[in-house]
Amino acid sequence: MALITKRIKGTQDVLPKESYRWQFIKKVLSDEAKNFGYKEIRTPVFENTKLFERGVGETTDVVQKEMYTFETKGGDMITLRPEGTAGTARAVLENALPNEGLPIKAYYFLSCYRYEKPQSGRLREFHQFGVECFGAENPAADAEVISMLCSIFERLGVKNLSLEINSIGCKECRKNYHEALKVYFEKYKDELCETCLSRLSRNPMRILDCKSPICKKIAEGAPKIIDFLCDDCKEHFEKVKTYLDTNGINYTVNPNIVRGLDYYSKTVFEFVSTDLGAQSTVCGGGRYDGLIEELGGQPLPSLGFGLGLERLLLLLDAQNIEIEKPAPCEIYFASMGDDANKKAFELASVLRTAGVFTEFDIVGRGLRPQMKYADKIGAKYSIVIGDDELQKNKAEIKNMSNGNKYEITLDKEKIISDFLQIKIKDELPSLEVQ
């Protein structure tokens, strides 16, 4: 019989045998965020479309080409979140979090949605870890979020990463830069794609982020924003570099980094790897000092980064970094008959309460298939319970790897202590167990 439907293009299933990898990296990421003073925030998967048009930018690829937007039955236009910063900023404003003290440090794990061509590490539904820091203008904050990423990659054992940084200035110093870009790109009007032509008068800086090979080639000769920075932005960028130098963090100034979203200002950065092929960017972030004001709040300097979990897992695979698999089943009860199965259920419950990974048959297999299943799941010990074992209130426990056998009680008050003594004796046979 054919399947009624299959998963949607650009999405993927995370199967039970793979989920431990996701759980591991999420723990590492959340632990590091907490070490830096961040607390988790959770926001809705969809928001009012205006939030992303104003926050992310109407001239960005995300808004113009990639958003999943639809009209509700009530006539509202809503969008599945394409990224996490705008929704977090909206939550900060709506819930008046600045009143609770600054800085506000928040981290999140979320699913994002962008309609683009699916490729390795870039899906239409993807998952992201991000941190957002609101209310910190000091250049030390820029260096701190970068330092957090360095700490994450070090803990994961990731190698061969390059940090590239740039400053794209503030609104004031970008005015002259935009004029210079217009003059430059006007000479190539006949070669620019249709989307970039529409950006030329509205936001020429977005042309630098175009994915078209022709536009990319033209953009290579465009003026660089770093040559148009005002004195304040220059000073801020120099201080960021000083903090990175002080902490021994190596970096390269890449004047071509502008990031793909309009809310960025001043510091922007990317971590890149040669192990991911053409899609070399592992993660990126920077400042967005004007975002809160753009959304209707009072000016509030802010910054953060986003790290794609699928891309991170691809990088770990590319560098042959193995994530330890979870411990297998400790005890498997194989039962024969209803009374034996009830006893197995009772004892499994007692052992699980004590933190022992325990399984018993819930499918209705015969004894031999049960033992094959115990072997398949890598159970360390097996206990067979039948009528004789029930009558004696004792059973044989077998080490599945070396064949050692011991007698164990089936008394729920004693099974935990008996098992622990057997386990110690089995693993340390020279140790005398009292």
Q: What pLDDT, in 10s, does the model give residues 215-261?
A: 989 989 999 999 999 999 999 999 999 999 999 999 999 988 887 66
So what's the pLDDT on residue 434?
Answer: 45
Nearest to 286 by CA among 308, 250, 262: 262
CATH for the 331-426 domain, from 3.40.50.800, 3.20.20.70, 3.40.50.12280, 3.90.650.10 = 3.40.50.800
Q: What is the pLDDT of residues 255-271, one digit of tens each?
A: 888 876 677 899 999 99
Model confidence at 59, in pLDDT bands (50, 70, 90)? low
Q: Which residues of the chain form CATH 3.30.930.10?
A: 19-170+230-318
Average pLDDT rounded to a whole number, residues 334-362: 97
The encoded tokens of residue 1 equal 């019989």
Q: What is the pLDDT of residues 113-131, one digit of tens each?
A: 999 888 777 899 999 999 9
Model confidence at 90, in pLDDT bands (50, 70, 90)? very high
Q: What is the pLDDT of residues 130-147, one digit of tens each?
A: 999 999 999 999 999 999
Q: Which residues of the chain form CATH 3.40.50.800?
A: 331-426
pLDDT of residue 428 exceeding 80, the answer is no
The correct answer on CATH 2.50.20.10 for the domain covering 19-170+230-318 is no
pLDDT of residue 188 exceeding 80, the answer is yes
So what's the pLDDT on residue 433?
Answer: 44
Question: Looking at residue 290, what DSSP letter applies?
Answer: T
pLDDT of residue 432 exceeding 70, the answer is no
Q: Lay out the sheet containing 358-360: strands in order across.
A: 358-360, 331-335, 381-385, 394-399, 405-409
Quickly count helices (H) and strands (E) in the chain.
15, 16
| Percent of the chain clearing pLDDT 70 (strictly above) | 97
pLDDT of residue 430 exceeding 60, the answer is no
CB 275 within 8 Å of CB 318 = yes
Residue type, 177: Y
So what's the pLDDT on residue 84?
Answer: 96
CB 174 within 8 Å of CB 205 = yes
77 versus 59: the higher-pLDDT residue is 77
So what's the pLDDT on residue 2?
Answer: 86
54 versus 150: the higher-pLDDT residue is 150
Least confident piece of the model among 34-48, 176-190, 198-212, 374-388: 198-212
So what's the pLDDT on residue 277?
Answer: 75
State the average pLDDT for the chain. 93
Least confident piece of the model among 53-62, 297-306, 342-351, 379-388: 53-62
Burial class (CB in 10 A: 0-12, 13-18, 19+), 309: buried
So what's the pLDDT on residue 429?
Answer: 66
